[in-house]
Chains A and B, each alone.
Chain A
């Protein structure tokens, strides 16, 4: 059974600081996604990582994928309040299906 685990589950950080969110998954997959969810809202796609070593960056967020370690990271650089949200990673392509399984989410709060 595929398991997708994120840590930390909660993250409170000061503006201007850097931090990394980790996403581990238990079964081989070459496709990993990061989504953002604001309170009371639906999920919005941030990054799609489709191969080992893939790195994507958008603003203060950078995502990477290591398929051999079954690990993805979401790195936050010089955090700002607008980044406060819940971040989910998700994996699909398991057993040649498009079944999309999500991690537990990381709730990020950035304070002044």
Chain B
């Protein structure tokens, strides 16, 4: 019953490294999202995509980029990881018709 998967549950990287977080959904959803979740700050939208090769900035895109080459896959890239990017990263996908979407299990990233 796999719906949204993320490439890693836990990840430890060093400052300055390039980091790739992968998200794959199997529901043929048009929209995909990347959020980070930090204590006391809720879920903050980093980027979202409403179609292949389309992307829109969310509320906190600085230091991140994304790629959506195929409908089912949405990648989040940290070009040069910094300690303030230590967080839980959640991927989600939703259909166009307004029905609720699904979240992946999350990736807890630690940047040392």
Tell me the A residues contacting B by CB distance below 8 Å. Answer: 31, 33, 35, 41-45, 47-48, 50, 88, 90, 92-93, 97-105
Contact = CB atoms under 8 A, between A and B. Distances in A.
Nearest to A101: B45
B42 A105 contact: yes
Contact of A100 (B41, B48, B96, B99): B48
A45 B101 CA distance: 7
Interface string B70-90: 000000000000000000001
A31 B98 contact: yes
A97 B42 contact: no
B33 A100 contact: yes
Interface residues of B, number: 28
B45 to A, nearest CB: 6
A97 B99 CA distance: 14
Given A98-B94, A100-B92, A103-B42, A42 B104 contact: yes
Given A97-B56, A102-B42, A43 B103 contact: yes
Contacts of A48: 98-100
Contacts of A90: 43
Contacts of B94: 92, 98, 100
A24 B24 CA distance: 32
B31 interface: yes
Residue in B31, B56, B101 whose Cβ sees the most chain A Cβ within 10 Å: B101
Given A45-B101, A88-B42, A103-B42, A98 B96 contact: yes
Contact of B50 (A43, A45, A98, A104): A98
